[in-house]
Chain A
């Protein structure tokens, strides 16, 4: 039974009250968070209030929705009314939204118990969570390693058993990579299926909110709850069907595409894990076919050009005038804006704003931004062709396992390179899920990425589920931290 299903059952069967459950989580957070730094803001009062409501419903014999009463966390770039939302940036410290993000609104209406806001790389820019102004979140498997990024806090909380599930956002791998590093399932849905309204933008054409969970089934449950059409987001379409309906379908005869381009420069142990996963798939009756994705080599530069360009525009609004941080002393308005931004933004954010401003500037636009847009089109076509030959494409999620602390501080280019396997789907708007597929010799989890065609979220979750069922005893390890039920 998946964790969400199990806890839901405990609540329904009155084995535990929602108040007791929530108290356990809050107490565990107080103990564990000092170590993991997963939460940047703990919302105990809100959580307890919701828990009481849920207990009221249970005592009145009302039927609970799937996510009702389940303690969870939200990445700190998802707007929560009356709860500080900082994107883990000094520039947004003290900013309290006056409205709820659509995803949070949906979950709140289902009495989801929000334990707190999760740590992240500043404005979701980073792969280790270490660009957070609160310091990075650590990996529950090994605290000398990072939880990953940018949704590192949510992954650390879920893996460390101080949240049942978390919502992250994935612009270039920010849900899948930390899920991979922390031995969890991370889903980056098809662009447009989950509303972005209220998600503080990093790169609008790439950002997508997705769940981080301890099983494929939980990912499907959460995704089904949040993938609804939202009139506040012009790019929203909602999902076409419930992924839980087809989750347990037989996968006999499905075609799994393997592209050699996805295996260049991959650490051997990671490669081997994927190869043994292919054997599992073959045993389930799936057919492994080789495909080619020649445009993949352009994905990384295309990603960094497009993401930075959009970010440079999206982050222009942080000027200290209306909300957030304002420099204490200044001469005039320009001086105020300049100092506020210089002091408020961290190094990585500044780097990307400058890159993005540069690639959009007159005289450089054609060589960078326009070119990147053309290559984006080519990559979309390349995937379209590939999906004529297969149902899903499988690759590693990250070329390696969790970084040691401070790895990313050394060389930004080397760090950017580690995103090479996750960014292509964001550029093409496709769904992809990262599922654990083993451990390295240090005991750190390895992740496998299953990519689907547009709106095939159900298909990739189905494929992930069937694999998981066969190997679950080998790919999951219940850590002895946090709440154990």
Chain B
């Protein structure tokens, strides 16, 4: 019997506003314990929250970028629960009137994952367990979060991963978060259930809490899927509960069942006033949004005539996409630029983080200069490749590595003469090529390059050599 996975995601994204959601403290990650705190964010008696307007603006940006409808009138609510990292014993969040509703994210398959809602809330502090004691660091307390809740539209681990990656990229593009999963600025809860293929009704779900790595999410979903299928195939019932992923054992384990689930006793926070956003304000925020990754990808393939795979790789990292576009100035064949970035540059950037940071020594203008020289046939592609390596090593411009004579090129008559000489000196290879050994031509071209110090146009030379051999 075959089973289908049904999953929905709750994604928490820390916003990168300068100050916290209800006070003036910095949102900077790290710092000594309890140094990014004030009476408000540690909830001292008598303190009051004051909503940071930038948080609303950032959240509206996130909503618009994920095709949500923005509420003109919204409010903040208290979610009451007791935990030492929550100093007021309630989290200020949004309950029944979230800022953004009814959006979606399009997967590359063309399928949409619908977004139920996006709301704003405050983050909690952090418990630190050390030498048998527990300490609390409230630096993170009051850092603004958005919670993005998807519909249960996800049917596979691949879809879940793509959804998160797309979401992450959008947030990065619009600049509302640094979305560093390892620092916890993007965390996911996964609601997951299984049903028989063809079944309409959803099964009973489990919620796996608070994961901050795509790898863990994928593994947790796989484990949880198999666990639920096993239970059902053995005639059991899945219990609705909250579970946590245990990375060491690669399992999920129960935290609490629905019966002892918290009653959060939500009610409107009387300390905060109504959040009102006019259509004009929404329009202005919309105008301020940069081009989103999906739109960029479309433009790269359609207008720049890049292959889909190239465009996808280039848009996957915001900095690279920007670098690429700046390097393309006045270049007709954009694929040339893409080749340099995805080839020689990517070889120097092994990890995802390195690609994300994209700290390479040369500027897009420097790359552009090189590309224009090759495109105008001032520089052979061979030579350009070598020069680029040197540029990437040193950060120096193309002109530091080539001389005027390098750019003179070789006229066709001279090239033909050199080609004739090359064939004459490599009779064996010419013979082999004639007998069908394609690769044999390489040593002849190598000879030409040596003779011309790399200035020859390899394509042109190959053409002439082939002609000479076949004529004989």
Contact = CB atoms under 8 A, between A and B. Distances in A.
B78 A99 contact: no
Contacts of B50: 231-234
Interface in A176-199: 196-199
A380 B272 CA distance: 19
B351 to A, nearest CB: 39
B267 interface: yes
Contact of B45 (A95, A235, A310, A369): A95
B43 A319 contact: no
Contact of B46 (A197, A235, A313, A316): A197
B90 A316 contact: yes
A460 interface: no
A336 B334 CA distance: 66
A232 B265 contact: no
Nearest to A230: B48
Interface stretch (B81-89, B111-119, B460-468): B81-89
Contacts of B82: 316, 319, 337
Interface string A92-132: 10010111010000000000000000000000000000000
Nearest to B38: A99
A313 B43 contact: no
Contacts of A323: 44
Contacts of A369: 267
Contact of B90 (A231, A313, A333, A357): A313
Nearest to A338: B82
Contacts, number: 93
A29 interface: no
Contacts of B51: 234
Nearest to A195: B48
B48 A322 contact: no
A204 B89 contact: no
Contacts of A196: 48
Given A316-B82, A319-B82, A97 B44 contact: yes
Interface in A213-239: 231-235
B46 A79 contact: yes
Interface residues of A, number: 43
Contacts of A409: none
A199 B49 CA distance: 13
B270 interface: yes
Given A316-B80, A321-B84, A321-B136, A197 B44 contact: no
A92 B263 contact: no
Interface string B239-270: 00000000000000000000000010111001
A313 B263 contact: no
A205 B270 contact: yes
Contact of B263 (A87, A235, A361): A361
Given A316-B90, A319-B82, A362 B46 contact: no
A317 B136 contact: no
Nearest to A205: B270
Interface string A53-92: 0000000000000000000000001110000010100001
Interface residues of B, number: 29
Nearest to B272: A234
A319 B89 CA distance: 9
A232 B47 CA distance: 8
A198 B271 contact: no
Contact of A234 (B42, B44, B273): B273
A168 to B, nearest CB: 15
A101 B46 CA distance: 8
Give the interface centre of B44, B88, B136 by most chain A CB atoms within 10 Å.
B44
Interface in B66-122: 78, 80, 82, 84, 87-90
B39 interface: yes
B290 to A, nearest CB: 32
Given A99-B39, A235-B273, A79 B45 contact: yes
Nearest to A357: B265
A392 B46 CA distance: 32
B270 A310 contact: yes
A319 B265 CA distance: 18
B87 A317 contact: yes
A312 B82 CA distance: 12
A321 B44 CA distance: 12
Given A313-B80, A316-B82, A319-B82, A235 B271 contact: yes
Contact of A198 (B46, B87, B263): B46
A234 B92 CA distance: 14
B267 A317 contact: no
B46 to A, nearest CB: 4
Contacts of A312: 80, 265
A197 B23 CA distance: 13
Given A98-B39, A310-B270, A319-B89, A92 B84 contact: no
A375 B347 CA distance: 69
A372 to B, nearest CB: 11
Contacts of A200: 45-46
A87 B267 CA distance: 25
B108 to A, nearest CB: 41
A362 B263 contact: yes
Given A313-B80, A313-B89, A316-B82, A92 B271 contact: no
A313 B134 CA distance: 25
Given A313-B265, A317-B87, A361-B263, A322 B49 contact: no
A433 B418 CA distance: 107
Contacts of A92: 45
Contact of B270 (A204, A337, A362): A204
8 contacts: A79-B45, A97-B46, A99-B39, A234-B272, A235-B271, A312-B265, A360-B80, A365-B265
Interface of B: 39, 42-51, 78, 80, 82, 84, 87-90, 134, 136, 263, 265-267, 270-273
Closest 10 CB pairs of A and B: A316-B89, A205-B270, A360-B265, A204-B270, A200-B45, A198-B46, A79-B46, A200-B46, A362-B263, A99-B39
